[in-house]
Amino acid sequence: MKVYHLYSGGKDSSLSAWILERLGYEVRLVTISFGVLDNWRFAKETAQKLGFEHQVIYLPREILETAAEMAVSDGHPNNAIGFIHERALEAIASMPGVERVSDGTRRDDRVPFLELPKTRSLEDRFNVAYIRPLLGLGYKTIRELTGRLFNVEIKASEELEKADYEVELRYLLREKGIDPLRIFPKRHQQSRVLGWKDV
C-alpha cells in the first residue's frame, strides 16, 4: 500500500505522513518545485530527519506563471495556491504505478482545499484514492499531536526556509516587479519541523 504524499516539510504535511505510516502505508514524500528556487531542499532535509523516502517532482514553470497572473488579477493568493495544488495532485496521480495520493490539508484550511466534486473527479480521472488524514481534525487536535511528535522551530522571519508553493510564487512576482506584500497577507510566524521528539 504505497502512498505518494505531497510534502512541504511543515507541521501539517509531516503529521499526516506520520498518520499514514501508522495506518500501515508505505509513505513516499513528494515535494513540488518549478525549478525557480531550490527551496525543496528544506523539505528533503526534514524528510531525511524523519526517516521518510523523498523525491522532488518538477512541474512546468507555465503553471507558476499562470498562478502568478491569477494572484495579481485577484489581489490575493488563494485561487493561485489552489490552482497549483490541483496541478500538483494531478501530476502525481498521473505518474505510472501511482494508486494513492495524499496531502496535509486540514479541516480549517481555506486553501489549498479540494471540494467534494473536485476530489471525486481527481479520483475518477486518474483511478487513484485521494487521502487527507488531517481533514477531520481541528487545530486543537493537530496542535496536540504535533506537539507530542515533533521538534518545531518557530521563527518570526522571512519565509525562505520552507518548501511550500508560496515561496516560488512570491519570488516570481518579485521578478515581475510586483511586491508580494500587496497580495499575500502578512505572516509573523513561521514554523518548521526539525525532527522527532525524543520519547
Place of cell 521563527: 155
DSSP letters spanning 164-196 = SHHHHHHHHHHHTT--GGGTSPP---EEEEEEE
The residue among 26, 188, 3 whose CA lies nearest residue 104 is 3
- Does residue 144 belong to the site contacting its own copies (CB under 8 A)? yes
Give the footprint of its own copies on residues 4-23 (CB under 8 A): 19, 22-23
The residue behind cell 489581489 is 75
Q: Which is nearer to its own copies, 140 or 188 (CB)?
A: 140
CA separation for the pair 138, 7 (Å, rounded): 20
What mask, x for binding its own copies by CB under 8 A, covers residues 101 to 140? Answer: ----x-xx-------x--xx--x-----xxxxxxxxxx-x
Q: How far is the CB of 96 from its own copies (least distance, A)?
A: 19
The yes or no reply on residue 90 touching its own copies (CB under 8 A) is no
Residue numbers at the binding site for its own copies (CB under 8 A): 1, 19, 22-24, 100, 105, 107-108, 116, 119-120, 123, 129-138, 140-141, 144-145, 148
